[in-house]
Structure 1
Amino acid sequence: MGIRFENVGIAVRDLEATIAFFTDLGLSVLGRDTVSGEWADTAVGLDGNHAKIAMLQTPDGHGRIELFEYLHPEAIETEPTLPHEIGMHRVAFSVDDLDAALAVAARHGCHPLRGVATYGDVYRLTYVRGPSGIIVMLAEALQQG
């Protein structure tokens, strides 16, 4: 089973201001979209999920972050995480075989929050609750390239 690091997702209050910050640091915007619908609800495990998103990449092409601003449901403000607190939104990985990856996750007691979704003809994907409550996205490309 192959696996590689894909990106880290960060929910933000103001997408444009956050993009400006990261692009000023040297990242580039790879793309933007607005996501919603049944596939998004299933993948994320949140009914009515509707968000503006932007994918940013480091100059070397190896690191990516996905920023998202929730349009619905309304975002919940929390205190910033301290360095010694456990948790973050999620980490994402591309896998060659989603079913094999889910079998590995299940051996550790980790299962999809809702199920496996299909994003257009691009990915089969799901979120699982991983160790220490970390949300892990696993995605298999539908078209190999």
Structure 2
Amino acid sequence: MDRPRSTNADGQAAVDLDGALVLGRAFAGSTRSSRLDNMQIMAIKLENIGIAVRDLEATISFFTDLGLTVVGRDTVSGEWTDTAVGLDGNHANIAMLQTPDGHGRLELFEYIHPEAIESKPTRPNEIGMHRVAFSVDDIDKALEAAAKHGCRPLRGVATYEDVYKLTYVRGPSGIIVMLAEELKKN
């Protein structure tokens, strides 16, 4: 069955509309294209974003106030988690949260063992993962929910080309959360 695909600037299939990345012709014209043209197509789908947190309950409260729903909770440990995560004696309380549309998921971990390691909160220009982004219907309402948790914009709310109002908020455990409200709604 052919699935609809979006196209890149050259009109070549780049991404399945259900979010699976199609490798190969998506990079045509790049220096890597000859290698990728010879590869078989591989579908990939983002499952979730995992975030280690200092206080699981406070972080759940923050994200549920923004509109996410808890879809599962567990405590995990044992050989399988040691192997999967790469930590001996891995033991954590976890919660899976989902966006209202059912497509985005966050998996939050609060480590029991080994002890969680505190680090400085990342800054937006540091290399590595540093933020989670959400589209919201009403950025002011989302900021009110964040403020209940002591979380405020890093600098303020910006408007991008009369298309989006957006901001970065420092959330629980130093997580940077981008909130964006589309201004020209269809």
**Considering only CA atoms, is the larger Rg found in Structure 1 or Structure 2?**
2
1:37-116 matches, cutoff 5 A:
37-88=78-129
> Residue in 1 aligned with 2:149?
none
> Residue in 1 aligned with 2:62?
21
In 2, Cα distance between equivalents of 1:49 and 1:86: 26
Q: Which runs of 4+ in 1 moved over 3 A?
A: none
Specify the code of the residue in structure 2 equivalent to 1:23.
T
> Residue in 1 aligned with 2:76?
35
In 1, Cα distance between equivalents of 2:83 and 2:128: 22
In 2, Cα distance between equivalents of 1:5 and 1:72: 27
> Residue in 2 aligned with 1:121?
none
Percent identity at matched positions? 83
Q: What do you get for the CA RMSD once the two structures are aligned?
A: 1.2
TM-superposition CA deviations, 1:67-87 (whole Å, max 9, x none): 000000110000001111112
Specify the code of the residue in structure 1 equivalent to 2:94.
I
- Paired residue secondary structure (1:67): strand
Return the structure number with greater strand share. 1
> Residue in 2 aligned with 1:140?
none
Shift of 1:88: 3.1
In 1, Cα distance between equivalents of 2:124 and 2:88: 31
Q: How many residues align?
A: 89
In 1, Cα distance between equivalents of 2:47 and 2:129: 16
Shift of 1:42: 0.4
In 2, Cα distance between equivalents of 1:44 and 1:86: 22
In 2, Cα distance between equivalents of 1:87 and 1:47: 24
In 1, Cα distance between equivalents of 2:66 and 2:56: 15
Q: TM-score, normalised by structure 2?
A: 0.47
Shift of 1:9: 0.3
Higher RCO (C-alpha 8 Å, min separation 6): 1
> Residue in 2 aligned with 1:12?
53
